Amino acid sequence: MKPEPSSTYLLKAIDAFKRKLFVISTDYRIMAVNAGGLKNESQNLPGSKCHELYCSRMEPCAGCPATDVLKTGGPAIWEGQADDFPQDDRGSCLYAYPIFSQDQVEAVAVLDFDLPILAGLEEKLKRSNAFLRNLMLSSVDGVIAADLKGKILIFNEAASEISGYSVEKALGSLNIRDVYPGDGARNVMKKLRSEEFGGKGKLKSLQVDFLRKSGEVIPISLNAAIVYEKGAEVATIGFFHDLREKIQMKKKLEQTRVQLLQAEKMSSLGKLAAGVAHQLNNPLGGITLFTKLVMEEHQLEEPVLEDLRRILKDAQRCRDTVKELLEFARQTRQEMRLHDINQAITRTLFLLENQTLFHNIAIEKQLYKDLPHVPGDIQQLNHLFMNIILNAAQAMEGQGKLTVKTSFSPKENQVRIEISDTGPGIPDDVMPHIFDPFFTTKEEGEGTGLGLSMAYGIVQNHGGTIRAESKPGEGTTFVVDLSLTPKKENLNE
Ligand SMILES: Nc1ncnc2c1ncn2[C@@H]1O[C@H](COP(=O)(O)OP(=O)(O)O)[C@@H](O)[C@H]1O
Ligand SMILES: [Mg+2]
């Protein structure tokens, strides 16, 4: 068989090409069409204008790539709207390129498909998809997307950290309902669908509970949206921001604020108290002196003497209070040295044990062996323990058990002193006030209300903390923590 010329194969190949390919003249008349471009075998296309034939239009179509080719002399892509083509011809005339005769465009070849361009577009799409994916996955907030059944579609590393589930596990078997405690997921969906939380289909910075794998429930700030496709819900996406640190910081800030307030109150009252104490000291000295003179220099009858003794006694009590006030407001330099707290406590107990108040109180010492020495002013520390122990004995009304325990925490690098009694405890409404200066629940003349505010000031001076734990009816424990390395700014040196 005689081989056919190569141009015949070329024509056959173009016909075999499953896409539409046709050639038009510079006035849009069809010069040749391959088999893919024929609507039926009998069609006689050559000679007709392409826009009339394919698109039933009198004029060339808007966005026609052939028009571009004729203008620019280079290949062009169709840039019209999908609706410019009749329904069954959508995608026709996607790409056109010039056929030259010498330097002139003689004809234009039009294709309904362009492979290299499509590949380029696909590549672009892939890259932008990858970029978006990367963005989500590297978000510092947890990103979780789920379909309407709750199956997880996207779950980034941050979501894994917040939830405790691995990314694989989440994508494999987790349901979005599992990350909310109780009915949480339904509530979130309800809010998402309502208008009130950032518009329909959106949630803005809503604080919700989040259930971790460990069972722990943590606070989360949630931004979420429903993903719609052609008006129908297809998925949800949520951005989860862990609020634990923020809440912790807020709490600390509040604590510091309260402490500052307390310190401020103490310092202004302290100054006031010092002034008043000095003013009272002289007249009190006068009262005592002249009462004694009257008693010594006159022959007085017993009832009168009794009254004068009463005056002396009360004046003495006033002087004691003033002394305490002055001590409380003392602003002299403190002497910081290393001290053995066990020894300080033993000494204080030794002094107190012989007082009648302590006769029926059992004292138990649980002193930590080899307790490291604490930097402090020994006078102040003695005062501190004395006040707490006296309060305990007074609360027990001289009967019960007093336990003094010391311990050392190497991790915190601090020494803890716990002083417990078996007294009536501190009622909840009294507790917030016990460190306030002049706050007392004791009978007039029995309490000054200065003991604990002084204790508070002393512990602060040492860069430590003091608190009371009490359940009414079960006694009270005062816990003092003293640091071995107090921060410089805390020390009132
Ligand atoms: N161990 C304790 N048990 C019960 N209440 C206590 C105890 N220690 C202190 N309190 C309460 O704290 C108040 C303030 O104590 P404090 O400042 O020492 O003043 P005062 O002892 O002069 O009343 C006391 O009046 C008492 O109500
Ligand atoms: Mg007291």
Tell me the two tokens of residue 128.
């932008």
Q: How many Å lie between the centroid of ligand 1 and the Cα of residue 438?
A: 10
Which of 3.40.50, 1.10.287, 3.30.70, 1.20.1640 is the CATH number of 244-331? 1.10.287
Ligand 1: residue of 328, 391, 436 to mutate (most ligand atoms within 8 A of CB) is 391
Q: How many Å lie between the centroid of ligand 1 and the Cα of residue 383?
A: 15
Q: Show pLDDT as tens, one digit a residue, over the chain (493 residues).
A: 556 678 888 888 888 877 788 899 999 998 888 877 776 655 666 778 888 887 788 888 888 889 999 998 888 887 666 555 555 554 568 888 999 988 899 999 988 765 556 666 667 777 777 787 788 788 889 999 999 899 999 999 999 999 999 999 999 999 999 999 999 999 999 999 998 888 889 999 999 999 999 999 999 999 999 999 878 889 999 999 999 988 888 887 877 777 666 666 666 666 677 778 888 888 999 999 999 999 999 999 999 999 999 999 999 888 877 776 676 565 555 678 899 999 989 888 887 887 889 999 999 999 999 999 999 988 788 889 989 999 999 999 999 999 999 999 999 999 999 999 999 999 999 999 999 877 889 886 677 788 898 899 889 889 999 999 998 889 999 999 999 988 755 454 4
What DSSP line would sit under 329-396, residue for residue? T--SPP--EEE-HHHHHHHHHHHHHTSGGGTTEEEEEEPPTTPPPEEE-HHHHHHHHHHHHHHHHHHT
pLDDT of residue 19: 77
Q: Which ligand is nearest to the CA of 443?
A: 1
pLDDT of residue 90: 47
Backbone torsions φ then ψ of 95, nearest 5 degrees: -140, 140
pLDDT of residue 266: 62
- Residues contacting residue 68 through CB under 8 Å, at least 6 positions apart: 76, 79, 96
Contact status, residue 163 vs residue 213, Cβ threshold 8 Å = yes
Residue 354 CB-half CA count within 13 A: 4
Ligand 1: residue of 321, 452, 453 to mutate (most ligand atoms within 8 A of CB) is 452
pLDDT of residue 493: 44
Tell me the two tokens of residue 392.
């305990």
Other beta carbons within 10 Å of 116: 8
Closest CA to ligand 1's atom 21: 447
pLDDT of residue 15: 80
C-alpha 403/C-alpha 150 separation (Å) is 58
What DSSP line would sit under 108-129, residue for residue? EEEES--HHHHHHHHHHHHHHH
CATH topology of domain 335-493: Heat Shock Protein 90 (3.30.565)
Contact status, residue 374 vs residue 484, Cβ threshold 8 Å = yes
Query: Amino acid identity of 70?
Result: L
Q: Which of 318, 313, 480 is nearest to 383 (CA)?
A: 480
pLDDT of residue 281: 85
Per-domain boundaries in the chain: 6-113, 130-242, 244-331, 335-493
pLDDT of residue 232: 86
Give pLDDT tens digits for 335-389: 788 999 999 898 888 878 878 899 999 999 999 999 999 999 887 888 899 899 9
Q: Going by DSSP bridges, is the β-strand pair 232-242/142-147 parallel, antiparallel, or unpaired?
A: antiparallel
pLDDT of residue 330: 57
Tell me the two tokens of residue 186.
């339904």
What DSSP line would sit under 44-70, residue for residue? --TTSBHHHHHH--SSPPTT-HHHHHH
Q: How many Å lie between the centroid of ligand 1 and the Cα of residue 275?
A: 25
Closest CA to ligand 1's atom 18: 451
Q: At the fourth CATH level, which superfamily is domain 6-113? A: PAS domain (3.30.450.20)
Q: How many Å lie between the centroid of ligand 1 and the Cα of residue 433?
A: 10
Which of 3.40.50.150, 3.40.190.10, 3.40.640.10, 3.30.450.20 is the CATH number of 130-242? 3.30.450.20
What DSSP line would sit under 398-415, residue for residue? T-EEEEEEEEEETTTTEE
6-113 and 130-242 have identical folds: yes
pLDDT of residue 43: 62
Give pLDDT tens digits for 124-142: 777 777 787 788 788 889 9
Pocket around ligand 1 at a 6 A CB cut-off: 387, 391-392, 395, 421, 423, 426, 430, 434, 439-442, 447-453, 476
Q: How many Å lie between the centroid of ligand 2 and the Cα of residue 485?
A: 29
What DSSP line would sit under 179-219, residue for residue? GSSTTHHHHHHHHHHSSTTTSTTEEEEEEEEEE-TTS-EEE
